Amino acid sequence: MNAVIIRGQKFFWTTNPTEGLWDIEVGYVTSEDIYIVKLTSNLRGKKYKYYKLNELYSKEAEIIHKLREFGFIDKGMYAKIIDYIEYLRVCDTEVVELEGSLSKYLLNEDIEAEANRAYEVVKEYVQDNAEFFPTRSSNKYENGESQGVIFDDEANIKKYGAQTIVIHKAPLVALLKEEFDLMSKSKHNAIFEEWIRQDILFRNKTVKENRYQCKDLVLKDGMTGKSRKDGYVLKWKSSDEIL
């Protein structure tokens, strides 16, 4: 193959060099100013992995070993893949801008499916433990006992555009750990990001460190100042029955 020189750099691979064994995509996570690469095996199962671009250089042996679990690759092909990735990055014509956090892509290759399962688990938990999730209109929320509240009142339906439910951090995190063995905060955040993408979770846009929880929620008449509560506000889909 003839070499191509672009912006002073020489590239020997300007087309996918894997002969159909791998799909190669380069993305740019705008929120964190970093390039990532998605490598998808075209063998049975079509599994894929995301890597930060710099990892492809610093962890070559480790990555080759991992990719061999579900696709064919050797050191020679790996070097050609790197050359092709850099060609795509320098040309900047096929780089995809990606939304959300970096953890969304690096921590789980099937985050959408896992987030959907997590949502179903939360829904079942709320339905099975209705006594801990009183409706806002009932005014029966009890501090220290209730685990959340159902926003069924007109004011909150108007505010969020749908019927929603509030669940406090402790029961939600415990549920994710118990049902999915998800101990990592970053893994939890990846699920929360996917919920936001699907318009299930309402993000707190004002406080960065608690961006997934809404703050100062009034869960009962008379809650003012420091007595107000924080919680994850989830949209309940129209087909769900929680009352």
Specify the pairing of strand 22-29 against strand 34-41.
Answer: antiparallel
Tokens at 65, concatenated:
């070993």
Residue 149, pLDDT score: 95
Asked if residue 103 lies in contact with residue 193, where contact means CB atoms within 8 angstroms, the answer is yes
| Residue (of 80, 32, 33) closest to 56 by Cα position | 80
The residue behind tokens 């789980």 is: 108
User: Do residues 11 and 86 lie in contact, with contact meaning Cβ atoms separated by under 8 Å?
Assistant: yes
Q: Which two tokens stand for residue 67?
A: 């990719």
Q: The whole model's pTM is what?
A: 0.57
**pLDDT per position in the chain (243 positions), as tens?**
556 777 677 777 888 999 899 999 999 998 889 999 999 899 987 788 889 999 999 999 999 998 998 899 999 999 999 999 999 998 877 898 887 778 767 765 567 778 888 999 999 999 999 999 999 999 999 998 999 999 999 999 999 998 999 999 999 999 988 876 655 676 788 788 889 888 899 987 665 555 888 888 999 888 888 888 999 999 986 445 554
pLDDT value, residue 93: 77
CA-CA distances (angstroms) from residue 168 to 17, 46, 173, 232? 50, 38, 9, 6
Three-class SS of 100-124: CCHHHHHCCCCHHHHHHHHHHHHHH
**pLDDT at site 11:** 72
| Residue (of 157, 142, 114, 164) closest to 220 by Cα position | 142
Largest pairwise CA distance in the chain = 75
pLDDT at 81: 95
* Token pair of 158 as six digits: 């108007």
Q: At 52, which helix (H) or strand (E)? A: strand 48-52
